[in-house]
Amino acid sequence: MRSPKDFFAPLAVGAPAPLTQVPSRPSRVIHFFDPSNAKMAAKVPAMVGTVDVLLGNLEDAVKADKKEAARVGLVAIAKATDFGDSTQLWTRVNSLDSPWVLDDLTTLVSEIGDKLDVIMVPKVQGPEDIHYVDRLLAQLEAKAGLTRPILVHAILETARGVANVEAIAGASPRMQGLSLGPADLAADRRMKTTRVGGGHPGYLVRQDPPAGVEDAVNAPRATYQQDLWHYTIARMVDACAMHGIFAYYGPFGDIADVVACEDQFRNAFLLGCVGTWSLHPVQIEIAKRVFSPSAEDVAHARRVVEAMGDGTGAVMLDGKMEDDASLKQCQVMLELADRLAASDPALAELYAVQPASSDGSGGSGGDEGAGAGWVR
């Protein structure tokens, strides 16, 4: 472990100084594209401004014989595209044990390092993987004369990675965030789902047998599907919050099931994630909507802040107790709303309107108000 005194020192002579705080630019939707797919790649320039992050994927989902074409394609797209202020450029490089990753890193940093905001590293097992990437990036940045450090995002998709999640999150000042990788994680853990993210009808709890009924065990009983990913997302969120970095849901592979996709994204948002991946254009709007606070939540948060005056003590609002702690929850909501509104004019307009009112004629406030808009 590095001494805290050395933690923010560059790892190579001439490399840019590490950031002491991760920039909190909006990243509700990390949109994946395959730079080796000419049709998909051609759509990228027009997507600037419509997604928070465009991610050129070089790893899984890119065929082995297209790995070099994907790398070359990403360089060409990055050079030819102005990403403006509202869309970041990220990449997902191949895994650290693959034959491609060294060329991925050396090519991308030297050719388009000035355009790349974040490098997503798959299948991270422990802090040692981040240390390797950290030093290599510093060397490559120094060689390329970069003045801004490229950040690193790790995918949590092995059992060992989950076991080491806190150490990974704190391994480097480059760490920007973590994403859940439910497909590889399921395989690595020997889970018995073959889905890419989402729930499973077999993972459920069942209502107790009804009393006083013959053959009660076989009587009709309600079942409730449970969330396979709750434990991992909650661990990831805690690790990220502890280290001041950001947590993300990952892929939802059932592209056609936009309703379940929205549910999974919302669970992640409520648990503390700031964004998710989108694999297909149809998931973009869902992600942007779910990971932006509702107008009702924002209005309610403002009412609590106003009612709490100097921020101490307890007050009653709509029959509910509010105090210092719920004030802090409301401040989380408002900070996020302000941050998103700063780069999204539609949200700025939405949040400027105050739908809630103290006579109950507007939004109903808090999680209930949001829920009313969520239930489909």
List the binding residues.
Answer: 92, 157, 184
Rule CB under 5 A: is residue 250 a binding residue for Mg ion? no
Residue showing tokens 């434990």: 231
Report d(CA 73, CA 81) in Å as an integer: 12
Inter-helix orientation angle 67-80/101-112, to 10°? 10
Residues binding Mg ion: number (CB under 5 A):
3
Q: Which residues are known binding-site members for substrate?
A: 92, 157
Count interface residues toward ligand ACO (CB under 6 A).
Answer: 16
Cα gap 122→155, rounded to integer Å:
5
> Is 181 a residue that touches ligand LL5AMS7Z (CB under 6 A)?
yes
Q: Establish if 196 lies at the interface with ligand ACO (CB under 6 A).
A: yes
Regarding 182 and contact with ligand LL5AMS7Z (CB under 6 A), the answer is: yes
Task: Decide whether 40 or 348 has the Cβ nearer to ligand ACO.
Answer: 40
**With binding defined as CB under 5 A, does residue 197 bind Mg ion?**
no
The whole-angstrom separation of Cα 128 and Cα 38 is: 36
**Residue with structure tokens 């809630």?**
356
Residues 117-176, interacting with ligand LL5AMS7Z (CB under 6 A) = 122, 155, 157
Looking at 182-190, 301-309, 322-330, 350-358, which segment touches Mg ion (CB under 5 A)? 182-190
Which of 114, 229, 280, 250 has its CA nearest to residue 177? 250
Which amino acid makes up residue 245? I
Q: Is 229 in the site for ligand ACO (CB under 6 A)?
A: no
**CB–CB of 109/71 below 8 Å?**
no
The owner of tokens 């422990």 is 126
According to DSSP, the residues that pair with 322 across neighbouring strands are 315
Q: Give the sign of the dihedral formed by CA 177, CA 337, CA 282, CA 260.
A: positive
- 91 is a contact residue toward ligand ACO (CB under 6 A): no
Contact pick of 96, 150, 183, 336 for ligand LL5AMS7Z (by CB under 6 A): 183
CA–CA gap between residue 303 and residue 345 (Å, rounded): 23
Number of residues near ligand LL5AMS7Z (by CB under 6 A): 11
Q: Is 57 in the site for ligand ACO (CB under 6 A)?
A: yes
Among 52, 104, 111, 184, binds Mg ion (CB under 5 A): 184
For the bound state, the minimum distance from the C-beta of residue 290 to ligand ACO, rounded and expressed in Å, comes to 18
With a CB cutoff of 8 Å and minimum separation 6, the contacts of 365 are: 296, 299, 300, 303, 317, 318, 356
Q: Is 34 in the site for ligand ACO (CB under 6 A)?
A: yes
Residue 142, interface with ligand ACO (CB under 6 A)?
no
Only one residue has tokens 């989402």, namely: 198
Residues lying near Mg ion in the complex (CB under 5 A):
157, 181, 184
Residues at the interface with ligand ACO (CB under 6 A): 32-34, 39-40, 43, 57, 60-61, 183, 196, 251, 255, 279-281
